[in-house]
């Protein structure tokens, strides 16, 4: 069944660029198989940084990769004219569509927060079947409720993630649980970071409970393998860029970025740190939670849901179907790390066509450098301005801390 999914074909086009019998081609196909599933349970790009770079206005028309739908709703708080969310992974799109339906049909803010804030509240399944399920399209309902008879009988359908904590599931969540398991076996307690009151305390806890994780013999033995990072959604091309930047010492790069996550930002309001070190949000103080889950935005989000549309497709294919000068904000996450130069060029040719004057484009990279500087032919590159200093300044403010670079381009 999976081999016939729209995700499979889109992934092959996006990822598989080398011959099967080559080492690179083989790992690309392994990643395609792994990524053709439910990978992310939340997005790992800081929306505060995105919004500072995008400079949204009331007439802004955004094209963004959906991923888990968190930032789609975070952008909606600013009330742009339109948000088009696309994703080549149909599983991530189903999570986005579930969030939109839950926001529209659950009766109260508390019900919505229980569903995606706690993500394990005892009322979640009842509320799903009562208020959300009747309004879902067939594909989305089948995704959350379907599966084999045995799977349904044992309560293993995906909607049960919201009874057991969504953030411990999907491939990313399962991999993070595996890492936490290693920490537990080695008698380290990364969750203690969330008890820190100051950045100094955060650094002390990092040194005691998190840094030693990277000295574990098992972590050392598998840490440089591309297979070890597939569950983090890192494709072979991105893995190679990180390996080159770290001069083959990937564990040092991982340690550096985890330290940035743990120590550079106050943990009291960094929900990325909470997810990384506890697989949950701060549901008591409600400080370290995404903006879309905060009570003050609930009514506004409900009122403006009609500004969002969703499609399972690629950025380029969607743009090809749009008229000239029809969009002006583009959010690419780290997707260009997957692409060879000719695919990047094709996409930016479409941006040049559909992008209105004043267009702004943002994306992240695993390494520090922007691929646009070398991928585009000179005449196409000349149509865009790289806001390098502003990019570097905002990169230092990114609370997710897992990327090597953040980049902003504009079309004058």
pLDDT tens digits, one per residue of 331-367: 999 999 888 899 999 999 999 999 999 999 999 998 8
Mean pLDDT calculated for residue range 33-51 = 84
pLDDT at residue 241, as a whole number: 74
Q: What is the mean pLDDT of the chain?
A: 89
375 inside domain? no
Name the band, by pLDDT with cuts 50, 70 and 90, for residue 146: confident
Domain count, the chain: 2
**What share of the chain in percent tops pLDDT 70?**
88
Looking at residue 33, what is its pLDDT? 57
Range of 222's domain?
169-278
The structure tokens listed for 204 are 């002390």
139-153: average pLDDT: 82
Give domain status of residue 22, yes or no.
Answer: yes
**369, part of any domain:** no
Specify if 216 maps to a domain.
yes
Q: Which of 376, 20, 1, 30 is nearest to 11 (CA)?
A: 30
For position 3, what pLDDT does the model report?
Answer: 40
In a domain, 221, yes or no: yes
- Judge whether residue 26 has pLDDT over 70: no
Residue 330 lies in a domain: no
pLDDT at position 31 over 60:
no
Residue 139 pLDDT exceeds 80: yes
**Confidence band for 1, pLDDT divided at 50, 70 and 90:** very low
- What is the per-residue pLDDT for 4? 47
Task: Summarize pLDDT for 246-297 with one digit per residue, the tens.
Answer: 777 888 888 999 999 999 999 999 999 999 999 999 999 999 999 999 999 9
The pTM of the whole model exceeds 0.85: yes
Q: Which residues are within 8 A (CB) of 245 and not within 5 positions of it... i.e. 6 or more apart?
A: 253, 366, 367, 368, 404
Percentage above 90 pLDDT, the chain: 70
Rounded CA-CA distance 240/96 in Å is: 30
> Any idea which of 9-23, 82-96, 116-130 has the lowest mean pLDDT?
9-23
Tens-place pLDDT, residues 197-226: 999 999 999 999 999 988 888 888 777 766
Q: 353 lies in a domain?
A: no
Q: Which of 263, 278, 293 is the last residue of a domain?
A: 278
Residue 260 lies in a domain: yes
What is the structure's pLDDT at 230?
A: 62
Q: Is pLDDT larger for residue 250 or for residue 154?
A: 250
Residue where one domain finishes, among candidates 278, 309, 339: 278
């Amino acid at each position: 069944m999976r081999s016939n999914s729209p995700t499979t074909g889109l992934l092959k086009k996006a990822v598989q660029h080398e011959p099967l019998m080559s080492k690179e081609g083989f790992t690309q196909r392994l990643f395609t198989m792994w990524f053709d599933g439910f990978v992310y349970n939340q997005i790992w790009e800081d929306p505060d940084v995105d919004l500072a770079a995008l400079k949204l206005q009331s007439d802004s028309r955004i094209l963004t990769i959906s991923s888990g739908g968190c930032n789609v709703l975070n952008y909606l708080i600013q009330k742009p004219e339109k948000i088009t969310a696309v994703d080549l992974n149909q599983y991530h799109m189903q999570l986005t569509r579930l969030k939109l339906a839950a926001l529209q049909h659950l009766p109260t803010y508390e019900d919505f927060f229980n569903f995606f804030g706690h993500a394990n509240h005892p009322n979640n399944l009842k509320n799903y079947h009562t208020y959300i399920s009747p309004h879902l399209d067939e594909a989305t309902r089948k995704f959350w409720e379907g599966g084999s008879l045995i799977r349904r009988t044992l309560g293993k359908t995906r909607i049960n993630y919201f009874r057991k904590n969504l953030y411990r599931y999907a491939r990313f969540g399962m991999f993070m649980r595996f890492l936490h398991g290693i920490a537990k076996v080695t008698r380290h307690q990364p969750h203690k970071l969330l008890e820190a009151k100051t950045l100094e305390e955060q650094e002390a806890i990092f040194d005691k409970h998190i840094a030693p994780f990277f000295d574990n013999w098992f972590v050392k033995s598998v840490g440089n393998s591309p297979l070890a990072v597939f569950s983090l959604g890192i494709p072979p091309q991105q893995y190679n860029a990180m390996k080159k930047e770290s001069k083959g010492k990937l564990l040092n790069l991982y340690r550096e970025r985890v330290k940035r996550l743990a120590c550079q930002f106050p943990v009291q309001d960094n929900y990325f740190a909470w997810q990384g070190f506890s697989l949950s949000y701060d549901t008591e103080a409600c400080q370290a939670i995404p903006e879309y889950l905060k009570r003050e935005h609930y009514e506004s989000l409900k009122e403006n849901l009609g500004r969002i549309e969703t499609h399972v497709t690629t950025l380029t294919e969607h743009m090809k179907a749009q008229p000239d000068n029809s969009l002006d904000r583009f959010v690419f996450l780290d997707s260009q790390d997957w692409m060879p130069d000719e695919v990047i060029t094709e996409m930016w040719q479409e941006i040049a066509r559909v992008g209105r004057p004043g267009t702004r484009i943002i994306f992240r990279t695993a390494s520090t450098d922007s691929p646009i500087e070398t991928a585009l032919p000179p005449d196409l590159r000349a149509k865009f301005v790289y806001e390098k200093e502003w990019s570097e300044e905002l990169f230092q403010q990114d609370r997710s801390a897992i990327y090597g670079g953040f980049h902003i381009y504009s079309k004058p």
